[in-house]
């Protein structure tokens, strides 16, 4: 009797783990897959219907005063094969940890260009399956502040050979207190639209 009950229960539990959420695969530059980087297990850029980090860190409103998210280097217009150097900085008083996630997509939601991350110790690259959307996010070891009350990351986005339309850069960042919980953290998000 127990065996008859256990099999359907296991089947149900296995079915619950299969969702339509993106499957993230990434590496720290050594080729090892990282399916669960510092608790980021999905798409949280805030763009194209995605949640932001507020889906877990929900104490405060999105983009609250007293802190900021700054993205520099993204021009208003881009051309084919252009290499855009992007710096992301999140600031807040008493910042104890910081993180981010960034994507670049065409208006139809498809991937635009590709990301090049030189500092693989500070960032990781992920790709959803099967959509092949690219996400760049902080690595496990890159949540410590880079300066007092500030966390930052630098990366490069490479435009495709031919830019077929506007590109939307969506980013969400966490100015966290560093207590390893989802409480007391401040979430910022931006969307930047650039034209060919």
| Residues contacting residue 60 through CB under 8 Å, at least 6 positions apart | 185, 186, 187
Q: Taking the model in full, what pTM does it have? A: 0.78
Residues 133-186 have pLDDT tens digits of 999 998 877 888 999 999 999 999 999 999 989 999 999 999 999 888 889 899
Residue 1: other Cβ atoms inside 10 A:
5
- Residue 45 pairs with which residues in a beta bridge? none
pLDDT value of position 31: 37
Q: Is residue 150 part of a domain?
A: yes
Q: Is residue 6 part of a domain?
A: no
Classified as helix, coil or strand, 184 is: coil
Residue 112: other Cβ atoms inside 10 A:
25
Average pLDDT over residues 79-92: 96
- Residue 189 pairs with which residues in a beta bridge? 172
Q: Evaluate if residue 14 carries a pLDDT over 70.
A: no
Q: Evaluate if residue 18 carries a pLDDT over 90.
A: no
68, 90 Cβ separation under 8 angstroms: yes
Tell me how many domains the chain contains.
1
Q: Is residue 120 part of a domain?
A: yes
Q: Is residue 7 part of a domain?
A: no
Q: Is residue 186 part of a domain?
A: yes
The range of the structural domain enclosing residue 87 comes to: 22-194
Which CATH number covers residue 71?
A: 2.60.40.2550
Average pLDDT over residues 107-111: 94
Q: What is the token pair recorded at 68?
A: 């900021």
Q: Is residue 4 part of a domain?
A: no
Closest by alpha carbon to 105, among 1, 193, 3, 15? 193
- Residue 170 pairs with which residues in a beta bridge? 103, 191
Q: Is residue 76 part of a domain?
A: yes
């Amino acid at each position: 009797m127990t065996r008859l009950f256990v099999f359907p229960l296991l089947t149900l539990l296995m079915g619950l783990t299969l969702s339509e959420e993106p499957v993230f695969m990434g590496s720290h530059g050594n080729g090892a897959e990282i399916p669960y980087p510092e608790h980021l297990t999905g798409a949280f850029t805030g763009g194209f219907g995605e949640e932001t980090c507020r889906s877990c860190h929900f104490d405060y409103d999105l983009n609250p005063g007293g802190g900021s998210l700054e993205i520099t280097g993204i021009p208003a217009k881009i051309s084919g094969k252009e290499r855009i150097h992007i710096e992301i900085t999140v600031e807040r008083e008493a910042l104890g940890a910081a993180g981010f996630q960034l994507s670049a997509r065409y208006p139809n939601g498809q991937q635009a260009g590709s990301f090049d991350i030189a500092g693989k110790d500070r960032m990781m690259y992920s790709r959803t399956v099967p959509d092949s959307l690219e996400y760049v996010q902080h690595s496990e070891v890159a949540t410590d502040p880079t300066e007092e009350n500030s966390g930052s990351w630098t990366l490069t986005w490479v435009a495709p050979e031919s830019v077929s339309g506007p590109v939307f850069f969506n980013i969400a960042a966490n100015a966290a207190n560093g207590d390893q919980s989802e409480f007391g953290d401040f979430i910022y998000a931006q969307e930047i639209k650039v034209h060919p």
